[in-house]
Amino acid sequence: MKSNSGFFPKRTPNLNSSSPISTPNSSSPNHSTSNGSPKSPGFNNANREPSNSNSNANANEDFSKKNTNIKKSNNPDKKNKKQVLFNKMKKLISLSNINTLIKVKKDDEVVDIANLEFEVSDPFNVGNDLPSEFRALIESSGITLKEIDENTETFASILQIHNEMNKEEEPSIDFDIEEMELPDHVSFKLSDVVNKDDPNPIFDNLKKIGEGGVGVIFTATHIPTQNLVAIKQVPLKKSEIEQTINELVIMKQSKHPNVVDFKEAYVSHKMLWVVMELMDLGCLTDVLDVYDQVKLNENQIARICHETLQGLHFIHRHHRIHRDIKSDNLLLNKKGEVKLADFGFSVQLTKQKATRTSVVGTPYWMAPEMIKGFSYDTKVDIWSLGIMLMEMTEGQPPYMDFPPLRALFLISTKGIPPLKNLDKHSAELKDFLALSLKTEPEQRPSAIDLISHPFLAKACPMNDLRDFLLIANQVKKNWMTMKMLIILMIKLLNMYY
């Protein structure tokens, strides 16, 4: 069900079983569902795209330097360890989607990278000992050879993500949880979660308002009630049935004021119709797109964090993990309401499986324990909330300039950089952020713990947030109109000159 964008298109890349890590694509429209390091040069904030930076250029220089010994060691144990690690990398790549992209010509035959053999030298030389196919992969990641030599095991664990992305997880969902304890695993069929009626006579005035990698989004009128709703139409694929069922059941059982309301699901002519409430101001990313023109203040940020935590506490209380908390998946409406959306990567914890290890979500918002392949629980959502707070304060998440693979590497090895201009932020905000981004998940507070944090006492009234969101929405519309006019003028000039 969730290829790159779940029910709604994204401008930030996800990790999943069907697509390799890719750079953000700003061309995907955002709709009624669906950053904080210092602002980096070359980043087009209006489009929220990473661009080539000096750091990437420097990384490329490392690949052009031949015969450079990064670390010399005559220790045979170290040499053997390197050999094992790089053989592991080769195996991981061969198991991942990358192997379809890397084919080499050997003795006039096209050979899969899984069949390549290589040895490391003594002393070990990263530039010479890595096969050219590895160097091409690493170059595209933005990670330097020196960094790999100094953090070989970390790099190998990041490559494991490609293997983990291919693992399917069975849906295991509970209905009507009376007590907040881990439920048993329950399997569902598509017929359990889909309405058998024909949706065509039930909805009228379908208007296309967006299109993503997996489906088309419409607004429509629900004829019996005359209410406006959002409808996502997605081709129903056999290979994604289990994931589709998982997403639908979790949404159906997540009824809360801070979770986008799932209305119904239908199947018509091999198309899945997912009907949800219409969030008429789009997502938080739309607000951050005009960060240079209008900025959220601390009181407004506190309100958004408070509403998000209310939704997170509800799903965590039912032992569910969202696994893709970010601005794209936080929806807004003209009432000033803030709601969680897009449960395409969500999972239900059970008595049989109380933690998870699969790597899914969006790289820049991923918690370290997930990146490293450790067992994790609901605390990964708290980390992602911290990164989203950095988005709201500075317009983008840390490391957004870098390719996703390098961003994962930096999160694992360097951690998260501090906020820019720390003096501009209150002690309460900084403490809230520090708690959310505790590296050890055991030290990270739960959603219910954070709800009582002093920073959230600063939250503005809902009406104040509503007024700001309406202003930001108008600024975004004006900016889009101006952009279209500029494009039109350029086309006209090209016609006459």
* Domain residue ranges in the chain: 190-277, 284-474
Residue 152, CA distances (Å) to 57, 66, 87, 131, 412 in order: 22, 20, 12, 15, 12
Which residues, 6 or more positions from 171, have their beta carbon under 8 angstroms from its beta carbon?
187, 188, 242, 243, 245, 246, 249, 348
Which CATH number, 1.10.1660.10, 3.40.50.300, 3.30.565.10, 3.30.200.20, labels domain 190-277?
A: 3.30.200.20
pLDDT at position 64, please?
38
Helix (H, G, I), strand (E, B) or coil at 4: coil
Among 462, 372, 345, 296, smallest CA distance to 2 is for 345
Instruction: Name the residue with tokens 């520090």.
Output: 434
Q: How far, in Å, CA of 154 to CA of 373, rounded? A: 11
Q: How far, in Å, CA of 8 to CA of 72, rounded? A: 50
pLDDT at position 132, please?
60
Helix (H, G, I), strand (E, B) or coil at 245: helix
Cβ proximity of 17 and 167 under 8 Å: yes
Sheet holding 227-235, edge to edge: 203-211, 216-222, 227-235, 271-277, 262-268
- Hey, which residues does 195 pair with through a beta bridge? 266
pLDDT at position 133, please?
57
Catalytic residues: 324
Phi and psi at residue 275, to the nearest 5°: -100, 125
Helix (H, G, I), strand (E, B) or coil at 453: coil
pTM equals 0.72
* DSSP tag of 143: -
Element (H, E) at 266: strand 262-268
pLDDT at position 156, please?
72
Give Dmax over CA atoms of the chain in angstroms: 78
Q: Count of residues for the chain?
A: 497
Instruction: Name the residue with tokens 């450790």.
Output: 374
Cβ proximity of 215 and 230 under 8 Å: no
Fold of 284-474: Transferase(Phosphotransferase); domain 1 (1.10.510)
Helix (H, G, I), strand (E, B) or coil at 345: coil
Q: Which amino acid is at 111?
A: V
Region of residue 30 (left: phi > 0; alpha: psi -120 to 50; beta: else): beta
Residue 293, CA distances (Å) to 289, 398, 422, 435, 474 in order: 9, 20, 21, 30, 11
pLDDT at position 5, please?
37
Phi and psi at residue 307, to the nearest 5°: -65, -40
pLDDT at position 497, please?
74
pLDDT at position 28, please?
36
Q: Which two tokens stand for residue 314?
A: 């509800």
pLDDT at position 128, please?
56
Q: Which two tokens stand for residue 16?
A: 């999943």
Instruction: Name the residue with tokens 């290890």.
Output: 357
Cβ proximity of 11 and 353 under 8 Å: no
SS3 content of the chain, % helix, strand, coil (to 5): 45, 15, 45
Q: How far, in Å, CA of 137 to CA of 99, rounded? A: 10
pLDDT one digit per residue (tens) for the chain, 497 residues: 544 333 333 444 566 543 333 333 333 333 344 333 333 333 333 344 444 444 444 433 443 343 333 344 455 565 566 566 666 555 555 544 443 333 434 444 444 444 555 454 544 455 555 556 566 666 777 777 778 777 777 777 776 664 455 444 433 333 333 336 777 767 778 888 899 999 999 999 999 987 766 778 899 999 999 999 999 998 988 778 888 888 999 999 999 999 999 999 999 988 999 999 999 999 999 999 999 999 999 999 999 999 999 999 999 999 999 999 999 999 999 999 999 999 989 999 999 899 999 999 999 999 999 999 999 999 999 999 999 999 999 999 999 999 999 999 999 999 999 999 899 999 999 999 999 999 999 999 999 999 999 999 999 999 999 999 999 999 999 988 888 888 888 888 888 77
DSSP for 312-332, please give it: HHHHHHTTEE----SGGGEEE
Q: How far, in Å, CA of 440 to CA of 379, rounded? A: 10
Q: How far, in Å, CA of 317 to CA of 348, rounded? A: 11
